[in-house]
Amino acid sequence: MASAERSAMKRFLLWDYARATWQYDLMVVLILAFVFLTPRELFRDQPKPSNIVRMPAEHGAKVFWLEPQLLDSVAEGERGAKVERELKSRFGERETVVRVEPLLGSEREVQGYMAYTKP
């Protein structure tokens, strides 16, 4: 009896059933149920937004928006150098940061930073 069960399991795993049989239809239903009913969080495969975004700029200068987590632990005087390193590693461009300004929310918490650069 154990070999019959093992044989059935082997046929099921190797998809050894002909089309239009109930076993084939059951396998298709199981696959479709897995695809459509499995929650996305199970695989932790959520899209991660970029933590540095290039914004439209004018007159040859470039403007970047940075997430607050990138510069929270950096002293105010060292933010420009940190942003330059991040831009070099992310975009491969050597930019000179002119200034970094925090963007404050309605309750005076930092929502992000705007970095202004020149080539």
Q: Are residues 80 and 103 in the same domain?
A: yes
Range of the domain at 70: 52-118
Q: Are residues 56 and 38 in the same domain?
A: no
Dihedral sign for Cα 27, 33, 35, 36, please: positive
Number of domains in the chain: 2
Residue 6: per-residue pLDDT:
86
pLDDT at 29 over 90: yes
pLDDT digits (tens, 9 = 90+) for 41-98: 787 766 666 688 888 877 777 888 888 888 888 888 888 888 888 888 888 878 888 8
5 secondary structure, DSSP code: H
Q: Are residues 56 and 95 in the same domain?
A: yes
Q: Are residues 75 and 114 in the same domain?
A: yes
Q: Are residues 60 and 21 in the same domain?
A: no
Q: Does residue 52 sit in helix, strand or coil?
A: strand
Q: Are residues 9 and 67 in the same domain?
A: no
Q: Are residues 33 and 73 in the same domain?
A: no
Are 97 and 82 a contacting pair, CB within 8 Å? no
Q: What is the reported pTM?
A: 0.55
Q: Does residue 63 sit in helix, strand or coil?
A: strand
pLDDT at 2 over 90: no
Q: Are residues 82 and 114 in the same domain?
A: yes
Residue 46: per-residue pLDDT:
62
pLDDT-derived band at 105, boundaries 50, 70, 90: confident
